[in-house]
Amino acid sequence: MADQTPFPQLLNVQIDGVWHQFPKGTRVIEACEQAGSYVPRYCYHKKLTSPGNCRMCLIEMGFPRLGPDRKPELGTDGKPIINWIPRPQISCAQDVSEGMAVRTNSPLVKECQRGVMEFLLINHPLDCPICDQAGECRLQEFSVDYGDSKSRFLENKVKKPKNVQIGTRVTLDDERCILCSRCIRFCQEIAHDDVLGFVDRGSYTVLTAHAGKALENNYSLNTVDICPVGALTSTDFRFKMRVWFLKETKSICTSCATGCNTVIGSREDVIYRQTPRENDHVNSCWMCDYGRLNFKYLEAENRLLEPQIRFEGKLVPADWPTAIAQAALQLKQFAGSEIAIIASGRMTSEELWLTSQLVTSLGVQWIDIVPRRGHGDKILLSKDRNPNTNGTRLILGSKSEPGAKLIGIADAVRSGQIKALVILKENAMHLGLPVEQLAQLPGLIVMNTLPNDVTEKATVVLPACGFAEKRGSMINGKGRLQRLNRAVRPPGNARDDWEILHDLLQATGGGDSLSSVDDVFRRISETVPQFVGLTLSKLGDLGVHILAIEELPPMHPSDGEAIEEAIAIQARRRGVRPASA
């Protein structure tokens, strides 16, 4: 009966002498952590099954002593008297139960932890100085917290394969592996690609993949994240940077509409890696390799670094005021019906809002974005590879399918009706027109990070920021508004996109006093109902769900499953609704 209420039943559990309450279904190890008694663990991962193999989370456990009436006997304090199990128990595989008691720091528990630490280290190479995991290695950390400073191991260590390319993106050092099986379970349970396994036996057990099938799935780098030691390292990241030097910026991935939450690791304006950040509304603890590694272009040698204008038939560098003025001049020459804007589903909501202001101000009638569709994998990767398609719908007010108007725009360019084309963070070649045709336009204003075939034919080039170089918000495929944060500064004279758009808006006469991207967001919240009451700061690290299911875009027939899933999520949200939401 209790199970049918939206709030789960609460159970009384004694942790290190203090009674707490936890919802039914809470793992003992999680309950301890919530109560402030962290229990060390290697094999346990809350998103994976529990094999109980590392034995690091051993604790003492007891249950109420039952009297002849099968009811707990109470002590003088009115609390149940505990019968302690003489053997230590693992805390990762059991849920709390009524009256359960645990000790997480008793002499026996400490002795167990010390013993396991010693066992894990005897055959572990002490190569921390050259190990990429150093600084974020559980073995290192728990050595300090639970281990001994001395070794009494006088024997030869077991030799195992080193520097194994277990997949194109993951490198394996078997001597460092503590055989916790997290990676194996991840591949089986999350990536649905049963590719890793243990071979040989006992202390000689080795993690490996079969020679004919490497760890190549699009989630392979998550195994590096969850590897508690330096056994699995990212081939891309290894030996590039000591992790303690990395500045960590919470952001989101912009490679598809899922919007996986991320941490960007950077140092001195160089990004070294991107790792997933837990958000159970979006990506659990995972992200795909494609999204994770999709930041290299920010470092591309051909990044657009300077504003440029066409002068005597050639693109020449200009300062920002000149470039903006030139662009505004070209746009003001024409009527709204003679201007088309190609915006992008990769732009932030703030940038889109400024674009919509530009549209209004200039009376532009042709505006669309470039759709990006690919294979979805039913795990995280969405079919929609634009991160903010929902933002374009909501803020640009577009009623048609993304990209539906591109053919019309192309026809209008071809017929000469369009005189000026503004291309924001897109490649105009998507219009399907020959580049020569675009080159003949009197106004071809390009805002982007990287050059493409059209850039060199532009009349004005405005160098902008990549996703990790700016702050702003996007609405993911399931209607969650999330925030990008700036991890690095843009290179050269590239500027934040919102500033460029804002200056252009002012220069064309439609501007007003906005001094920060937060101001832009505030203006959105005044005009777009779904944004009401929000600020960019209020989105927090985990974002806010702003689109109800009926507000989500019409799905393709093949998206049936996604719809069902979204409905389920909505139902769940409504069922057990925290007061603040």
Partner 1 sequence: MDEAIARYPSDHRRSAAMPLLHLWQEHFGFVSEEALVWIAEKLCLQPINILELVTFYPMFRDKPAGRTHIRVCRTLSCAMAGGFELMENLFTTLGIQRPPAGDGMHNPIRISADGDYSVEFVECLASCGTAPVCMIGEQLYENVDVNLIAGLLRNQTSNIKHQTSPHLLERRLIFKNIGRPDWTTDIDCYLRDGGYEQLKQALTLSRADIVNKVKNSGLRGRGGAGFSCGLKWSFIKPDEKRPVYLICNADESEPGTFKDRYIIHEDPHQLLEGILISCYALNARTAYIYIRGEFPAGAKILGRAIEEARTHNFLGKNILGSGFDAEVYIHRGAGAYICGEETGLIESLEGKRGYPRIKPPYFPAVLGLYMCPTIVNNVETLCHIRHIIAMGGAEYARLGRPNNTGTRILCVSGDVQRPGYFEIEVGAVTMGQLIYEMAGGLRPGRKLKAVIPGGSSAKVLRADERFKLKQKQSDGSTIEREMSIDEIPMDFDSLTAAGSMAGSGGVIVLDDSRDMVWVLNNINKFYAHESCGQCTPCREGSLWMQKITDRMLRGGGVVEDPKALKTIGDNIAGRTICAFGEACAWPTQSFVEKFPEEFAARAKKPVPPPLPPEYTPEELIEKEEIPTVPMAHDPGWEKAGAKGTI
Q: From CA 388, how far away is CA 254, in angstroms rounded? A: 8
Nearer to partner 1, 17 or 212 (CB): 212
Three-state DSSP class for residue 329 = helix
Q: Which of residues 501-520 bind partner 1 (CB under 8 A)?
A: none
The yes or no reply on residue 120 touching partner 1 (CB under 8 A) is: yes
Listed ranges 90-98, 273-281, 418-426, 530-538: which one lies at the site for partner 1 (CB under 8 A): 90-98
Min separation Cβ 217 and partner 1, Å = 12
Q: From CA 258, how far away is CA 453, in angstroms rounded? A: 29
The yes or no reply on residue 179 touching partner 1 (CB under 8 A) is: yes
Among 38, 198, 239, 311, indicate the residue that binds partner 1 (CB under 8 A).
Answer: 198
Among 37, 104, 123, 357, indicate the residue that binds partner 1 (CB under 8 A).
Answer: 123
The yes or no reply on residue 107 touching partner 1 (CB under 8 A) is: no
Min separation Cβ 227 and partner 1, Å = 16
The answer to whether the CB of 119 falls within 8 A of the CB of 171 is no
The yes or no reply on residue 228 touching partner 1 (CB under 8 A) is: no
The yes or no reply on residue 101 touching partner 1 (CB under 8 A) is: no
The answer to whether the CB of 474 falls within 8 A of the CB of 547 is no
Residue in 279, 323, 262, 330 with CA at minimum distance from that of residue 467: 262
The yes or no reply on residue 116 touching partner 1 (CB under 8 A) is: yes
Q: From CA 360, how far away is CA 357, in angstroms rounded? A: 5
Q: Which of residues 397-416 bind partner 1 (CB under 8 A)?
A: none
Min separation Cβ 392 and partner 1, Å = 42
The yes or no reply on residue 428 touching partner 1 (CB under 8 A) is: no
The yes or no reply on residue 223 touching partner 1 (CB under 8 A) is: no
Interhelix angle 517-527/349-362, rounded to 10 degrees, is: 70
CA 155 to chain centre: 44
Listed ranges 86-94, 221-229, 275-283, 326-334: which one lies at the site for partner 1 (CB under 8 A): 86-94
Q: For residue 456, what are the contacts with CB-CB under 8 A and spacing of at least 6?
A: 315
Nearer to partner 1, 179 or 395 (CB): 179
Listed ranges 29-37, 192-200, 301-309, 346-354: which one lies at the site for partner 1 (CB under 8 A): 192-200
Nearer to partner 1, 156 or 558 (CB): 156
The yes or no reply on residue 139 touching partner 1 (CB under 8 A) is: no
The answer to whether the CB of 577 falls within 8 A of the CB of 316 is no
Burial class (CB in 10 A: 0-12, 13-18, 19+), 456: middle
The yes or no reply on residue 541 touching partner 1 (CB under 8 A) is: no
Residue in 545, 551, 553 with CA at minimum distance from that of residue 481: 545
Min separation Cβ 77 and partner 1, Å = 29
Helix H, strand E, coil C: the string for 350-404 is HHHHHHHHHHHHHCCCEEEECCCECCCCCCCCCCECCCCHHHHHHHHCCCCCCCC
The yes or no reply on residue 528 touching partner 1 (CB under 8 A) is: no
The sign of the CA dihedral 248, 250, 254, 260 is positive
The yes or no reply on residue 104 touching partner 1 (CB under 8 A) is: no
Determine how β-strand 420-424 pairs with β-strand 443-448: parallel
The yes or no reply on residue 51 touching partner 1 (CB under 8 A) is: yes
Among 15, 29, 32, 112, indicate the residue that binds partner 1 (CB under 8 A).
Answer: 112
Min separation Cβ 208 and partner 1, Å = 8
Listed ranges 89-97, 163-171, 289-297, 504-512: which one lies at the site for partner 1 (CB under 8 A): 89-97
**Tokens standing for residue 88:** 């230590």
Determine how β-strand 58-64 pairs with β-strand 247-252: unpaired
- Tokens 């053919």 locate to 407
The yes or no reply on residue 155 touching partner 1 (CB under 8 A) is: yes
Alpha helix stretches (DSSP H) within 227-303: 289-292
Residue in 257, 327, 279, 266 with CA at minimum distance from that of residue 500: 327
Nearer to partner 1, 208 or 249 (CB): 208
Question: Could you give phi then psi for residue 498, rounded to 5 degrees?
Answer: -65, -35
Nearer to partner 1, 24 or 240 (CB): 24
Among 199, 270, 548, 568, indicate the residue that binds partner 1 (CB under 8 A).
Answer: 199
Nearer to partner 1, 30 or 497 (CB): 30
- Can you give the C-alpha Rg of the chain in angstroms? 29
Nearer to partner 1, 120 or 271 (CB): 120
The yes or no reply on residue 4 touching partner 1 (CB under 8 A) is: no
Name the amino acid, one letter, at 460.
V
Contact residues for partner 1, defined by CB under 8 A: 50-56, 58, 87-88, 90, 93-94, 111-112, 115-116, 118-120, 122-123, 150-156, 158, 178-179, 194-205, 208-213
